[in-house]
Structure 1
């Protein structure tokens, strides 16, 4: 195994981003680059938002994620910044000799936090987006609420208390709000309407935490739902290294 390969196993957290290629969303948040983060470190999570498609993930021919299920997250973990080779196979594959997707190179910048989301386009095709997470601290007593549209659905509005607070959000974009810590009653409706297609649901906003809500699934298939990721704001040093499976 070549030098630093054990570090490179951390890239499995980005492997789902290799599905059909990796495309950055047009409204990705700016990168957080804390001055106290170590040189050459990136933070990576993965969200698997393609329905009905469990997969295995290989890095340098080593399987590092097994039977990764839709609607779940892996990470966040720290890994050295750089470019990694990924192969993705069916969940029942014996090895990576016949990948479904791959090989694919994915690059992560130093002192930056990412979530790689495999999801459906608005038209329902499998794709992936790399979201850069802004984990810079919000003012004390507030948190950051981020909504990411990763569903096979047209533009949506996000409602709080029945009133739109985010308008016209399209796939694969995101919008962020800084809110007082507490609980928000939120729902998702088709743009210009108020009838929820997702929710309403109680969404906690935690002090100095990013609460990231992914709308995923398919409107035509009737399986629209949400998944919630939380990230502590501040230093990348507070997250573990990727273990080898």
Structure 2
């Protein structure tokens, strides 16, 4: 788990406490009643939190002192409705005034999901994404960019060339690239650079889905822009075995003329 500490932001909790944050129903089929694997991504600069799932008893606390900029999981979550309560670290979750989030999550069966706490329209909220864990070619990785920041559409440059031309807030885009080192930069679509979202030289390992979240706000200094990274393993399609070399054609012996023996 990678943690990026940011300065405390009490106003974020005031906003969250004043609203009911909606967690969308994930668009995944319910064919089988099996657990989903759920990752939590804390993309709101602010105060560390405790997260309770299925109730507010101590046994239901699934995350403790969860820091902004951190990721957690996968957490096995059963299919069906799941009450979720989030409070500032150490607060009593049974006190309604302490409940930053008090929401029921509708969990599908057999999915692999990431839920990110982010800022949209100046208000903290939660957004869910289904993770693409399909195969990639041997020696390659999938790179996914998720625009969860409170900012206009952006373009993503790879080695100086525009790779993603117009990524809207709340959207994601991905590409499969050979493993290696790449220079990554993010701009507004008019070319204005966004240094806080431009990691520069990035090493992409093989057989991964490297997910990068743009978080924070371009207009509110209380929610500084930044990046949160999540790395998931993906299966690899082995390179095809080289075709065997054709067997050499049989050579034919040249005819040999009979040599008469000479006696005398």
Which TM bucket (shorter chain)?
0.7 to 0.9
Q: What is the aligned partner in structure 2 of residue 218 from structure 1?
A: 217
* CA deviation vs aligned residue, 1:21-60 (integer Å, no higher than 9, x gap): 12479xxxx979xxxxx96131110000111132221121
Q: Distance in 2 between matches of 1:201 and 1:81?
A: 40
Unaligned 5+ runs, structure 2: 1-15, 237-264
Post-superposition offset of 1:223:
2.3
For structure 1, which runs of at least 5 residues remain unmatched after alignment?
1-15, 33-37, 236-245
- Report 1:190-205 matches (<5 A): 190-193=188-191, 195-197=193-195, 198-205=197-204
CA offsets 1:83-110 (integer angstroms, 9 cap, x no match): 2111112224123322424532212222
Kindly indicate whether residue 206 of structure 2 is the aligned counterpart of residue 207 of structure 1. yes
- Between structure 1 and structure 2, the one with the greater Rg is 2
Match of 1:79 in 2: 77
Q: Aligned partners of 1:200, 1:92: CA distance in 2, in Å? A: 34
The answer for the alignment partner of 1:242 in structure 2 is none
Structure 2 CA distance for aligned equivalents of residues 97 and 111 of structure 1: 33
Q: CA deviation at 1:177?
A: 0.7
Q: What is aligned with 2:12?
A: none
1:181 aligns with 2:179: yes
Shift of 1:125: 1.2
Whole-angstrom CA distance in 2 between matches of 1:31 and 1:139: 26
3-state DSSP class of the match of 1:50? coil
The one of 161, 164, 177 equivalent to 1:163 is 161
Q: Which runs of structure 1 show a deviation greater than 6 angstroms over 4 or more consecutive aligned residues?
A: none
Q: Per the alignment, in what secondary structure is the counterpart of residue 21 of structure 1?
A: coil
Aligned to 1:103: 102
Give 2:39's aligned residue. 45
Structure-2 change in CA distance of 1:226 and 1:102 (3 Å):
closer
Residue matched to 1:66? 64
Deviation at 1:200, TM superposition (A): 4.2
Distance 2:87 2:204 in 1: 37
Structure showing the higher strand proportion among its residues:
1
Alignment RMSD, CA only? 2.7
Name the residue aligned to 2:261.
none
The CA distance in 2 between the partners of 1:87 and 1:196, in whole Å, is 34
Contact 2:147–2:172, Cα closer than 8 Å, also in 1 = yes
Q: Quick one: distance in 2 between partners of 1:161 and 1:203?
A: 10
- Kindly indicate whether structure 1 or structure 2 has the higher relative contact order, using CA contacts under 8 Å at least 6 residues apart: 1
Instruction: Tell me what 2:233 maps to.
Output: 232
Q: Give the total of aligned pairs.
A: 209
Scaled by the length of structure 1, the TM-score of the pair is 0.76
